[in-house]
């Protein structure tokens, strides 16, 4: 064996980040509410109220936030299944918000969605093989033989046996049904898959299997995920970047490591303080932050910081609207009380430095 002289350590050249696939800009989804009588002022539910984010090709952006913060509505707007009041949703070079019906029908093969409830998202009277083939039939993709071969391939990819295609949904467990939903979502070979709480309805024991399946499919197929969840432990496991929503807006956006090491927004700190710490070394809130009360109504949100009414760190300046500021490369936060100490960003509820 030859003696190799080790090279002095040279940092590997940094790989350029993958290109942006999904770009959401100033997205608003406002639902008009029926008037309460002729003289009443018309009201709108500001479900999504000025949301910005990007997802790079082949990566996962997790969207978190409590119930009613607008996660599902954002996802549906990306899919063009909720009406876009303002702003844009760009997939590569295509602005989905501007497409007419036929162009959207064509674009739909590029974006697919997996829903939370594996039970209600399958037609009980349709054989599951037919359900997986349905998007191909609908979009007229391939010959009959090619579609049948594609369904075989998809069943194998998600870990189901080919003969199971002839069964009905009730003959499967929740985890298997979610595999069928994943196969159906992948039928058209999409670039972006929107996953809305894909494992929340499943038994704990099954969740890891489905998450591992999603991760493997992402690696093998280069998929891009917009992954909605309220489970920070799941999110920490699967995402590259995270966006925290509060009352229709993104209050913090960061690469995974930066966020989990140091969530800056008081709302993010509160979400994280509820997660049991597995190992030390994290700069988290000194103690559990208990949020009191409910979020304000999306019909009449506060003019300033929307979280101020529940924020333990609220004070002067919070009555002004907050905009996202980049405190470190890629780490954005909408709170004027986030500062820098020795070049490091520090949130108002955090200890200044990691112990």
Interface residue list for Mg ion (CB under 5 A):
72
Does residue 45 bind ligand ATP (CB under 6 A)? Answer: yes
Member of 21, 64, 68, 263 binding ligand ATP (CB under 6 A): 68
Q: How far is the CB of 232 from ligand ATP (least distance, A)?
A: 13
| Count of beta carbons in the 10 Å neighbourhood of residue 113 | 20
Q: Six-digit token pair at 325?
A: 């500021």
Note the helical H segments in the chain: 71-78, 101-107, 128-139, 144-157, 174-186, 204-221, 232-238, 256-261, 266-273
Does residue 67 bind ligand ATP (CB under 6 A)? Answer: yes
**Which is closer to Mg ion, CB of 72 or CB of 322?**
72
Does residue 298 bind ligand ATP (CB under 6 A)? Answer: yes
Stretch that binds ligand ATP, among 11-19, 63-71, 209-217, 261-269 (CB under 6 A): 63-71
Which string of x and - marks every residue 215-254 that binds ligand ATP (by CB under 6 A)?
---------------x------------------------
For helices 174-186 and 128-139, angle between their N-to-C axes, nearest 10 degrees:
20
How far apart, in whole angstroms, are the C-alpha atoms of residue 311 and residue 269? 11
Stretch that binds ligand ATP, among 68-76, 150-158, 268-276, 311-319 (CB under 6 A): 68-76
CB 225, CB 264: distance < 8 Å: no
Query: Among ligand ATP, Mg ion, none, what does residue 119 contact (CB within 5–8 Å per kind)?
Result: none
How close are the terminal C-alpha atoms of the chain, in Å?
Answer: 46
**Which is closer to ligand ATP, CB of 71 or CB of 256?**
71
Q: How far is the CB of 228 from Mg ion (least distance, A)?
A: 7
DSSP annotation of 315:
-
- In the sheet that holds 224-228, the strands lie side by side as 111-114, 192-196, 224-228, 60-64, 241-246, 249-255, 331-333, 325-328
Q: How far is the CB of 186 from ligand ATP (least distance, A)?
A: 23
Does residue 71 bind ligand ATP (CB under 6 A)? Answer: yes
**Which is closer to ligand ATP, CB of 33 or CB of 166?**
33
How far apart, in whole angstroms, are the C-alpha atoms of residue 38 and residue 36? 7
Q: How many residues bind ligand ATP (CB under 6 A)?
A: 13
Does residue 266 bind ligand ATP (CB under 6 A)? Answer: no
Please state the φ and ψ torsions of residue 170, each to the nearest 5 degrees: -65, -10
DSSP annotation of 346:
E
Assign 3-state DSSP to the chain and report helix, strand, coil percentages, each to 5: 30, 25, 45
Q: How far is the CB of 251 from Mg ion (least distance, A)?
A: 17
Q: Six-digit token pair at 128?
A: 């599951």
Query: Among Mg ion, ligand ATP, none, what does residue 165 contact (CB within 5–8 Å per kind)?
Result: none
DSSP annotation of 283:
-
Kindly give, in sequence order, each residue whose CB lies less than 8 Å from that of residue 8, ignoring residues fewer than 6 positions away: none
Does residue 72 bind ligand ATP (CB under 6 A)? Answer: yes
Q: How far is the CB of 167 from Mg ion (least distance, A)?
A: 29
Member of 21, 49, 70, 179 binding ligand ATP (CB under 6 A): 70
- Binding residues vs ligand ATP (CB under 6 A): 31, 45, 47, 65, 67-73, 230, 298
């Amino acid at each position: 064996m030859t003696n190799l002289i080790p090279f002095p350590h040279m940092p590997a050249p940094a790989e350029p980040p993958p290109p942006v696939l999904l770009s959401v800009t100033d997205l608003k989804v406002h639902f008009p509410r029926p008037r309460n009588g002729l003289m009443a002022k018309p009201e709108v539910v500001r479900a999504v109220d000025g949301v910005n984010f990007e997802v790079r090709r082949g990566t996962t952006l997790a969207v978190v936030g409590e119930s009613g913060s607008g996660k599902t509505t954002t996802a549906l707007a990306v899919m063009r299944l909720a009406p876009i009041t303002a702003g844009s949703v760009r997939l590569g070079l295509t602005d989905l918000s501007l497409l007419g019906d036929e162009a959207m029908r064509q674009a739909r093969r590029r974006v697919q969605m997996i829903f939370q409830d594996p039970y209600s998202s399958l037609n009980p009277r349709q054989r599951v093989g037919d359900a997986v083939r349905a998007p191909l039939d609908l979009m007229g993709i391939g010959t009959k033989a090619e579609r049948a071969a594609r369904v075989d391939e998809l069943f194998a990819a998600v870990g189901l046996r080919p003969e199971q295609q002839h069964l009905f949904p009730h003959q499967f467990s929740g985890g298997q049904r979610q595999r069928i939903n994943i196969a159906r979502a992948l039928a058209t070979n999409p670039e972006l898959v929107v996953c809305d709480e894909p494992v929340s309805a499943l038994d704990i024991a099954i969740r890891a299997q489905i998450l591992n399946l999603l991760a493997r499919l992402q690696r093998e197929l280069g998929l891009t995920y917009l992954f909605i969840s309220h489970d920070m432990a799941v999110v920490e496991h699967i995402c590259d970047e995270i966006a925290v929503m509060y009352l229709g807006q993104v209050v913090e956006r960061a690469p995974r490591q930066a966020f989990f090491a140091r969530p800056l927004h008081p709302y993010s700190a509160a979400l994280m303080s509820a997660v049991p710490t597995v190992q030390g070394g994290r700069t988290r809130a000194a103690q559990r932050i208990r949020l009191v009360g409910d979020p304000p109504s999306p019909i009449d949100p506060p003019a300033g910081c929307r979280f101020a009414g529940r924020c333990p760190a609220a004070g002067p300046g919070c009555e002004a609207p907050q905009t996202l500021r980049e405190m470190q490369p890629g780490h954005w936060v909408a709170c004027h009380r986030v500062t820098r100490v020795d070049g490091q960003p520090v949130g108002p509820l955090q200890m200044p430095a990691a112990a």
